[in-house]
Every structure is written in structure tokens, then in C-alpha cells.
Amino acid sequence: MTSRERVLAHLEGRPVDRLPLMPITMMFAAVQTGARYRDYCTDYRVLVEGQIRTAEAFGFDYVNTMSDPAREAADCGAPVEYFESQPVALIEDQALLADKTKLASLKIPDPLGGGRMHNGIKALALFKERVGKDKIIEGWIEGPIAEGADLRGINTLMMDFFDDPPFVHDLFAFVIELELRFAREQLKAGADVIGVGDAAASLVGPDIYHEFVWPYEKKLVDGIHALGGKVRLHICGHTRRILEGMGKLGCDIVDLDSMAPISEARQKMGPHTILLGNLNPVSVLRNGNPADVTAAITECHQQAGTPFIVGAGCEVPRDTPPENLRALCAYAHTHQP
């Protein structure tokens, strides 16, 4: 089976030859070509080269365009900081929507308008050209609370849930429209799967998640499906309290961080959701040795049951020893779901 055939079959519940392998790499991928991370974030050709080199060296079944959380926000006009060796980041004390009233006049930027989103889309088109026959191509968008936090300032947004609930709803509705437009262009350019990153969702409790976040995540998932794409949801951090809600979104793949017990996720999400993860990327993948990694991913697979995709709990850290990542990949290469 090609990687592409393997993942598509697994997504459709058909038999596969071995476990699919889809760990998230960002800075690690840049290291494979010696590229500056700043260039990985801003030049789609550097990103594509890094991802392909990594996928081929380690036997991944996919490539992805995630480099940092600030593409959409930068195109909206939010001040961002570019680092030499770190992801592009939002400058919170200059948040675009520090003044709430600005939301009313904020226009959704054109994903093909020559900005950072457009750069991401060019990466997808180049992926399709170079590896589209063999690998699954994964694009990326920010989820409602993540993007909302990027535009409003995360500390302020956290208090907006109490101070101004209608504003939060308006903000998240704006974000969904922005992200679905971005997702549509990504799918047109060649993405098969859209990754949805909604990290800040792990900072709120189940009440706020259900009232404010879940309805908009659901709109995103339904929208991407209607456009013909598959959805991989990734919420970094402690998601134990919101696993049931995450399971009800209808995502094709739910990618869990190491703090969420994957056995509980299986219990709460049922037998059809594909789970991905979730060994600790720092204490095990980076700081451990190959035997530790093998033991951890074996345990994850056992706890997760089927269907399952191999990956770490979050991004593979930049200085992960290659032999540790090879141990993770070897598990996928030698095991059935």
C-alpha cells in the first residue's frame, strides 16, 4: 500500500497493512534541511522541503503545513513577531482586538491575497505536485478559541467569557467564517485532511467549553466535511475534562496530548473515532531512549485500541534524538491496527 492508500483506507474503516504514522513535526522538520525556522515559517518552499525530507527519512505517511499559529492573525493585521529559530508569535500587548469595537469593522482577509495564508496554500500545491500520489497532504487552521485568543489577547479573552459573552460569540462566529474560507482554499489546493489546532480549549473548564467553544468547533468540522475534507483535531494540553465533547464533534482523527488518558478517550469517544498519540513529547520522546519510546507507544496503542494512528502527544521537539523518533516510527511500521 502507498502511504496515501493506507491512510485513506484507515479513515474509511477498511483494512490496512500496518498502522498509519502521522507525528507532528515543525522545528524538527526544519532541522532536517538545516533551514532557519524563520524561513520555514515564511517561505513555503523551505517548509515543503523540510516536511518531505522528514517524511521520507522517517517513513511518515503524510506531510503537513503547520508552522506556527499566526498565519490567519497576521493576515488580519495583528502585530506578530518573527524569531530566527522559533515559531512566529502574536504580540499580546498589541492584540488586534484589544478594543472590542474593532471586531465590527474587521474584514476577513482573502486567503489568496499574497499573505501568510496564501503562503500556506502554495505549500499545499507544491506538496500535491511533489508527493501527492504517495502521501496524505494535511493543511492546518486555527480553531475558534485559539484564533479568538490570537486576535483578542488570550488573557483578556479568558475573562471575556464572564465579562461579555455576546462578544465572545460574535468573535468566534467571525473566526469560523475566516477559517472555513481558509480551509476551502486549502482543500482546493490539494489538502486531503485539515488539521484544526484549538490549544486554548484545554485552558477552560467543561462548562465554558460546552457553551462557547464546542458549538463553533462543530460548525468548523461540519463545514470542512461539507467541503469534502477530513478533520484532524488537535488540542494541546489537559483535555481530560472535555473528551466527551471532543468525541461528539464528528472529527475523523482526534489527536491527544499526553495529559489526557487515551483509554478514557476511547471510552468517551466510542469505537469509530480514530485516536492519535499520545506519548509525552518531552519526557519520553526527547529525554528518553529508544526503548522508553517503544514501551510508551506500545502502551498508548494498547490503551487506545483500534482505530489508532501513531504520533506523539504534541510536536516532536526540535532536538529529539533521531533514534528516538525512529523507534516511534518502527512501531507503526511493524504493527497492525
Would you say 160 or 192 has its CB closer to other proteins? 160
Would you say 92 or 134 has its CB closer to other proteins? 92
> Is residue 127 within 8 Å of residue 48, measured between CB atoms?
yes
Would you say 13 or 205 has its CB closer to other proteins? 205
Between CA 151 and CA 99 the distance in angstroms is 10
Of 41-49, 100-108, 123-131, 157-165: span binding other proteins (CB under 8 A) = 157-165
- Among 12, 34, 99, 162, the residue binding other proteins under the rule CB under 8 A is 162
DSSP, collapsed to helix, strand or coil, labels residue 87 as: coil
Would you say 7 or 200 has its CB closer to other proteins? 200
Binding flag, residue 294, other proteins (CB under 8 A): no
> Is residue 84 within 8 Å of residue 36, measured between CB atoms?
yes
Question: Closest approach of Cβ 175 to other proteins, in Å?
Answer: 18
DSSP, collapsed to helix, strand or coil, labels residue 12 as: coil
| Phi, psi angle pair for 193, to nearest 5° | -120, 140
Binding flag, residue 203, other proteins (CB under 8 A): yes
Binding flag, residue 92, other proteins (CB under 8 A): yes
> Is residue 288 within 8 Å of residue 324, measured between CB atoms?
yes
Binding flag, residue 289, other proteins (CB under 8 A): no
Between CA 280 and CA 315 the distance in angstroms is 10
Binding flag, residue 205, other proteins (CB under 8 A): yes
Q: Which residues contact 136 (CB under 8 A, 6 or more apart)?
A: 3, 4, 7, 8, 22, 61, 62, 63, 192, 193
Between CA 292 and CA 235 the distance in angstroms is 24
Of 52-60, 171-179, 198-206, 225-233: span binding other proteins (CB under 8 A) = 198-206
Binding flag, residue 100, other proteins (CB under 8 A): no
What residues numbered 241-270 form the site for other proteins, per CB under 8 A?
241
Would you say 229 or 317 has its CB closer to other proteins? 317
Question: Closest approach of Cβ 210 to other proteins, in Å?
Answer: 13
The DSSP output letter for 327 is H
Would you say 205 or 228 has its CB closer to other proteins? 205
Taking Cα atoms as reference points, which of 231, 199, 235, 203 lies closest to residue 218? 231
Binding flag, residue 287, other proteins (CB under 8 A): yes
Binding flag, residue 98, other proteins (CB under 8 A): no
Between strands 62-64 and 136-142, the pairing is parallel
> Is residue 126 within 8 Å of residue 137, measured between CB atoms?
no
Would you say 236 or 309 has its CB closer to other proteins? 236
Contact residues: other proteins, CB under 8 A: 27, 81, 83, 85-86, 89-93, 154-155, 158-159, 161-162, 203-205, 208, 241, 282-283, 286-287, 317-319
